[in-house]
Amino acid sequence: MMDDMAWIPKREKSSAPWIPGSDDPPVKKRMRSEPAFTVAEVAKILNVDKRTVYKWLMPDEDNGEAIIPAEGWYKLPRSGYIRIKKWVVAQLQAGGM
């Protein structure tokens, strides 16, 4: 069986196919983003329950708007944990939104 594949040329062992001439593997770079807080941190900062913060993320039944707008928070990939951006927390502390 091996004789059938003898015609396939073997590749020469190169250093790294992703960066010619480099022996180091590629490094994942984290994107720098603005500071954000967990739901628990926001609850502690604003002296409310975590369930209240989760309610603020959901649109209101009356007007369809959430207290914390969609652009003010995001979910982490894979885990689904929520992060609330710092500017939102600052506005909530100041009594805005």
CATH of the domain at 49: 1.10.1660
User: Residue 2 domain-assigned?
Assistant: no
> What is the pTM (predicted TM-score) of this model?
0.63
User: Residue 83 domain-assigned?
Assistant: yes
Pairing of strands 82-85, 73-75: antiparallel
User: Residue 69 domain-assigned?
Assistant: yes
**pLDDT of res. 34:** 80
**pLDDT of res. 67:** 93
User: Residue 8 domain-assigned?
Assistant: no
Q: Choose between 8 and 83: higher pLDDT.
A: 83
10 Å CB burial of residue 51 (0-12, 13-18, 19+) is exposed
Which tens digits make up the pLDDT trace of 34-56? 899 999 999 999 999 999 999 99
Which tens digits make up the pLDDT trace of 1-21? 555 556 656 656 555 455 555
User: Residue 97 domain-assigned?
Assistant: yes
What is the domain extent for residue 84?
35-97
Domain tally, the chain: 1
User: Residue 16 domain-assigned?
Assistant: no
Q: Assess contact for 65 and 55: CB atoms under 8 A.
A: no
User: Residue 17 domain-assigned?
Assistant: no
User: Residue 84 domain-assigned?
Assistant: yes
